[in-house]
Amino acid sequence: MPDTGGELGLAPLFHLRGFEGSVCEYVERLYWQYRAMVDHAGIRIWGKPLAVSDTVAADGRDRLFWHLITAGSSEHTEETRRLNLKRCAHLPWVWDILERLAHDDPRVCWWREGWHIMVAPVDFSMIVVLQERPGAFRLKTAFPTTKRKQTKRSFNRAGVAWETGQCWRQFVDEKHPKWRSGVPGHLPPARQLVTRGSRV
Least confident segment among 41-45, 103-107, 131-135, 175-179: 175-179
Residue 64: other Cβ atoms inside 10 A: 21
15 in any annotated domain: yes
The answer to whether 164 touches 111, Cβ cutoff 8 Å, is: no
Number of structural domains in the chain: 1
User: Which domain does 45 fall in, by range?
Assistant: 6-146
Domain assignment present for 192: no
pLDDT value of residue 76: 58
Quick: pLDDT tens for 35-90.
999 888 889 998 999 888 778 888 888 888 988 999 876 565 666 678 899 999 99
- For 145, the enclosing helix (H) or strand (E) is none
Q: Is 42 left (phi over 0), alpha (psi -120 to 50) or beta?
A: left
Is residue 69 one of the residues assigned to a domain?
A: yes
What confidence tens digit (pLDDT) does each residue in 137-187 have? 999 889 888 767 766 777 777 766 766 666 654 333 333 333 333 344 444
